[in-house]
Structure 1
Amino acid sequence: MINKALRILIADTQHFYRMKIERLFNELDYYRVAPVQSLAELLTLVDYGCEPFDVVVINAELAGGALDLPGFLLDNPQVRHALVYKVPSTTMQMAEGFALGNLQISHAALPNAQAITQLMTWVDRPRLEQDEALRRLAYA
């Protein structure tokens, strides 16, 4: 069952890309989406938000080297899950679809329907199911 209360933040400088990604979420019945166009807007919403974002989808180029995106997203209690796309393969030596905790890395220019569906399958699983999956990983 879809949790329609999930908070989603999309960050990209291109309006067309933000809208395209938002439509992918809408097709999955997620409508609580906040699109932003700059790193300053993203930081303001994340730092001063009253409640955490369940999903942050961000173009790696938005940071422009001014911010360590993986470090920021992994250690931030205001971000539960994140997908960073358009990551240059020379910058981060990680395989396509690499995931670490709540962070997924993609070299794709734009997330497609499959990537968003896969992300939301992980994010919107019942909490007990996620805890069990993490326990199994810890003992593997």
Structure 2
Amino acid sequence: MFKKSIRILIADEQHFNRLRIERWFNQLGYYRVAPVQDMAELLVLVEYASEPFDLLIINAAMGHGKFDLLDFCLDNQQLDRVMIYDGQRAQLPAIALCAQRKVSVSHALLPDLASIQRLMALADSRRPSVGTVISVR
């Protein structure tokens, strides 16, 4: 398991929501979590990161209707996987969580523990397992 090395961003304007999501990650053994409260903080962290973030969990309302959050997440090389929640408020189409998609959109007001577990199973599966040899030529 690579739980300790997965880098996670949580973006929500509501402190309670960020705290609740971070606690769910902690319950699952993930501790490299960075909570941010606004788009300015998120953009700085993503742009200046030395390596890509494994996961961004973001409230769709963060774009405030002025920022195309879906395009930003799809096109950004610094984000490996993204879950946008409360997508109905931002009028985003629901996009199911699967291994082939970089971005999933949920209409749930807040992700629950079960959805985070499914998301992390996909994130963990994308990383090489212990003992796997990766050759570089």
- Corresponding letter in the other structure for 2:88: P
SS, match of residue 9 in structure 1: strand
Specify whether residues 7 and 90 from structure 1 end up closer, same or farther in structure 2 by C-alpha distance, changes over 3 A only.
closer
1:92 matched to 2:126: no
Runs of 4+ with deviation above 3 angstroms:
97-100, 126-129
Q: Which runs of 5+ in 2 are unaligned?
A: 130-137
* Structure 2 contact 85–109 (Cα < 8 Å) conserved: yes
Q: Per-residue CA shift, 1:95-129, capped at 9, x if unaligned?
A: 6x355621011000000001100000000115469
The count of residues paired between Structure 1 and Structure 2 equals 128
Cα RMSD of the aligned pairs, angstroms, is 1.9
The 3 A distance-change label for structure 1 pair 60 and 75 is: same
Q: Distance in 1 between matches of 2:50 and 2:105?
A: 26
Q: Could you say what secondary structure the match of 1:91 adopts?
A: coil
Superposition TM-score, scaled by structure 2 size: 0.85
Q: 2:40 is matched with which residue?
A: 40
Q: CA deviation at 1:47?
A: 0.9
Determine helix, strand or coil for the equivalent of 2:18.
helix
Q: Shift of the alpha carbon at 1:90?
A: 7.4
Q: After the TM superposition, which residues 62-77 of structure 1 pair with which residues of structure 2 at under 5 Å, given as runs?
A: 62-77=62-77
% identical aligned pairs: 46
Structure 2 residue aligned with 1:13? 13
Unaligned runs of 5+ in 1: 130-140
TM-score by length of 1: 0.84
Q: 1:69 Cα shift?
A: 1.1
Q: 2:23 is matched by which residue type in structure 1?
A: R
